[in-house]
Amino acid sequence: MNVLFDLNVVLDFFLNRSPWAADAAGVWQAHKDGLIRASISSAGLPTLFYVMRYTLRLLTLDQLSRAATLICALELERIKDPKKLGPWPFEIGLWVGKAATPNRMGAKGARDATPARAKTIAFHNDDRKPSPIPLEDCPWCGTKFTRLSFRLLPDPDYPTDLRVGCANKRCEFSRDRHLPILGVDEPIYRRLPCFMIATVDKFAAMPWTGQVGAFFGRVDRYDAGGFYGPCDPGVGQRLPVGVQPLGCLPGEAEGGAG
Ligand SMILES: [Zn+2]
């Protein structure tokens, strides 16, 4: 009997994806035993190679590390000639699920341990804990990040940015010059990096995430901290923890989806 395997069945088997791995192994064994003759679509071959070669996490982080080096080089060129290359920095964003990066900055008083502030403070106190964003080395010079590499700005109690700096004082991204890397969703929505590494679940959630309207140009002003839409409080007008401007989400979501 000829059977055309859905690619997911093959991935369930090779990646041991629960809860389907056992069933997938059964049909795979049937193919090996000659009970069935299995095929997959030729279009699925490159996908199969790509997914099996890299796990999602490795793929994302490997891409981030390589692309960050490129963005560092671009940013240094821009700094040399901002008249030609523009006043806004070249930056790279890592826009992925909160298991890999913090999605919110967080603020003093919040009990949640997942925002960037809580993760950064935990790493400052004990560098055996995971760093706030999943990068271990400076993408420009290769120096390992230390607990002092991650800074909550402008105010550690109510940060709007998590900036990463290099511990190597000879590196061009040390001292007051941060690496052009954004690893938290909130600064990404505000600073709109020119290059983003993202997972597909983020794209799938775009209609429900009002802030992504900014990716599509729904901003009407900017300052040194980033770009703002009509509903953003802007710098110096911070809202209390957990409070969102009313009435903005549907409009921005429609703008983003459109
Ligand atoms: Zn460095």
Ligand 1 centroid to Cα of residue 174, in Å, is 7
Take residue 80 and report the two structure tokens written for it.
Answer: 């040399």
Q: How far apart are the first and last CA of the chain?
A: 46
More confident residue, 19 or 49: 19
Ligand 1 centroid to Cα of residue 173, in Å, is 6
Cα dist. 156→106, 151, 186, 225 in Å?
Answer: 10, 8, 15, 16
Ligand 1 centroid to Cα of residue 39, in Å, is 49
Ligand 1 centroid to Cα of residue 177, in Å, is 10
pLDDT tens-digit map of 207-256: 888 888 888 888 888 888 899 877 665 544 444 444 444 444 433 434 44
Distance CA 44, CA 9 (A): 12
- Band of pLDDT at residue 76, cut at 50, 70 and 90: very high
Ligand 1 centroid to Cα of residue 150, in Å, is 13
Ligand 1 centroid to Cα of residue 166, in Å, is 4
Ligand 1 centroid to Cα of residue 140, in Å, is 5
pLDDT tens-digit map of 106-122: 988 888 888 899 999 99
Tell me which of 13-17, 132-136, 193-197 is least confident.
Answer: 13-17
Q: What's this model's pTM, rounded to 2 decimal places?
A: 0.68
Ligand 1 centroid to Cα of residue 71, in Å, is 13
Calculate what percentage of the chain has a pLDDT beyond 70: 81
